[in-house]
Amino acid sequence: MSAAAPLASFRFRSEPPSLWTMIRQGVADVGSVIPASILTDDAVQLPGVGAPLVVSSPQLAREVLNDRADHFTRDRFIRRLFRRSWGKGLAAAEGEDWQRQRRAVVPFLSPRAVKDHLAAFATAADDVLDEIGDGEHIELGTLSARIVARVVLRVLVDAGTLADPDAAAADVAPYIRRIAGFSLIDLLPLPERMIDQLHGIDRDPAVQRMRALGQRLAEARNDSASRTDMVALLEGVGPIADNIRGMFPAAMDTTVSGLSWALYVLAQHGDWQQRVAREGAELQAVPELEQLAVTRRVVNETLRLYPPAPLMTRSAAHAMELAGHPVKPGQSVLVAIYAMQRRPDLWRDPDSFDPDRFLPECGTPKAYMPFGTGPRMCVAAHFAQAEMAVILARVMARLRIAPSGPAPDVALQVTTRSRNGLHAVAELRDIRRKSPEIAAATPILARQDTA
Ligand code: HEM
Counting atoms of ligand 1 from 1, which one is nearest the CA of 313? 16
CB 379 less than 6 A from any atom of ligand 1:
yes
CB 233 less than 6 A from any atom of ligand 1:
no
Using one digit for the tens of pLDDT, what is the confidence trace for 386-443?
A: 999 999 999 999 999 999 989 999 999 989 999 999 999 999 997 444 455 544 544 4
Q: Which pLDDT does position 212 carry in this prediction? A: 93
For the chain, the domain total comes to: 1
- Of the candidates 55, 77, 312, the one whose C-alpha atom is nearest the C-alpha of residue 195 is 77
Q: Using the mean position of ligand 1's atoms as its centre, give its distance from the Cα of residue 324 in Å.
A: 30
- Of the candidates 305, 272, 267, the one whose C-alpha atom is nearest the C-alpha of residue 405 is 267
Query: Once rounded to an integer, what is the mean pLDDT over residues 39-65?
Result: 96
- Residue 176 covered by a domain: yes
User: Looking at the predicted structure, is the pLDDT value of residue 450 above 50?
Assistant: no
- Split at pLDDT 50, 70, 90, the class of 446 is very low
- Split at pLDDT 50, 70, 90, the class of 224 is low
One-letter amino acid of 143: L
- Split at pLDDT 50, 70, 90, the class of 364 is confident
- Residue 12 covered by a domain: no
- Of the candidates 20, 61, 13, the one whose C-alpha atom is nearest the C-alpha of residue 310 is 61
Virtual torsion, Cα 392, 396, 397, 399, nearest 10 deg: 140
Q: What is the CATH number of the domain that holds 86?
A: 1.10.630.10
- Split at pLDDT 50, 70, 90, the class of 2 is very low
Please tell me whether residue 342 adopts helix, strand or coil conformation: coil
Contacts with 208 (C-beta within 8 Å, 6 or more apart), sequence order: 202
Q: Where are the beta strands (DSSP E) in 348-438?
A: 399-403, 410-412, 416-418, 423-428
User: Looking at the predicted structure, is the pLDDT value of residue 336 above 70?
Assistant: yes
CB 156 less than 6 A from any atom of ligand 1:
yes
Q: Which pLDDT does position 252 carry in this prediction? A: 92
Q: What percent of the chain has pLDDT over 90?
A: 77
- Residue 8 covered by a domain: no
CB 382 less than 6 A from any atom of ligand 1:
no
Q: Which pLDDT does position 441 carry in this prediction? A: 47
Q: Which pLDDT does position 449 carry in this prediction? A: 44
Q: Using the mean position of ligand 1's atoms as its centre, give its distance from the Cα of residue 23 in Å.
A: 29
CA distance 449 to 281: 9
Q: Which pLDDT does position 437 carry in this prediction? A: 55
Counting atoms of ligand 1 from 1, which one is nearest the CA of 259? 1
Please tell me whether residue 2 adopts helix, strand or coil conformation: coil
- Residue 438 covered by a domain: yes
- Residue 299 covered by a domain: yes
- Residue 410 covered by a domain: yes
- Residue 7 covered by a domain: no
Please tell me whether residue 316 adopts helix, strand or coil conformation: strand
CB 221 within 8 A of CB 157: no
Query: Once rounded to an integer, what is the mean pLDDT over residues 332-357?
Result: 97
Q: Which pLDDT does position 386 carry in this prediction? A: 98
303 vs 288 pLDDT, higher one: 303
- Of the candidates 312, 317, 333, the one whose C-alpha atom is nearest the C-alpha of residue 45 is 333
CB 258 less than 6 A from any atom of ligand 1:
yes
Q: Best of 378, 383, 385, 415 to mutate for ligand 1, by most ligand atoms within 8 A of CB?
A: 378
CB 45 within 8 A of CB 60: no
CB 370 less than 6 A from any atom of ligand 1:
yes
Q: Best of 254, 299, 333, 368 to mutate for ligand 1, by most ligand atoms within 8 A of CB?
A: 254
**Average pLDDT of the chain, as a whole number:** 91
CB 309 less than 6 A from any atom of ligand 1:
yes
CB 386 less than 6 A from any atom of ligand 1:
no
Atom 23 of ligand 1, nearest CA residue: 254
Domain enclosing residue 264, as ranges: 19-450
Atom 43 of ligand 1, nearest CA residue: 378
Using one digit for the tens of pLDDT, what is the confidence trace for 188-206?
A: 899 989 999 999 999 999 9
User: Looking at the predicted structure, is the pLDDT value of residue 137 above 50?
Assistant: yes
- Split at pLDDT 50, 70, 90, the class of 448 is very low
Q: Which pLDDT does position 442 carry in this prediction? A: 42
Long-range contacts formed by 419-422: CB under 8 A, 24+ apart: 421/139, 421/140, 421/141, 422/139, 422/140, 422/141, 422/260, 422/261, 422/263, 422/264
Helix axes 443-450, 270-282, angle to 10 degrees: 170
Q: Using the mean position of ligand 1's atoms as its centre, give its distance from the Cα of residue 62 in Å.
A: 17
Atom 7 of ligand 1, nearest CA residue: 371
CB 278 within 8 A of CB 298: no
CB 151 less than 6 A from any atom of ligand 1:
no
Q: Which pLDDT does position 249 carry in this prediction? A: 84
Virtual torsion, Cα 163, 254, 61, 358, nearest 10 deg: 130
Using one digit for the tens of pLDDT, what is the confidence trace for 88-122?
A: 999 999 999 999 999 999 999 999 999 999 999 99
- Residue 3 covered by a domain: no
Counting atoms of ligand 1 from 1, which one is nearest the CA of 78? 16
Counting atoms of ligand 1 from 1, which one is nearest the CA of 156? 30
Q: Using the mean position of ligand 1's atoms as its centre, give its distance from the Cα of residue 224 in Å.
A: 31
Q: Using the mean position of ligand 1's atoms as its centre, give its distance from the Cα of residue 135 in Å.
A: 35
CA distance 391 to 155: 14
CB 254 less than 6 A from any atom of ligand 1:
yes
CA distance 145 to 172: 9
CB 90 less than 6 A from any atom of ligand 1:
yes
CB 218 less than 6 A from any atom of ligand 1:
no
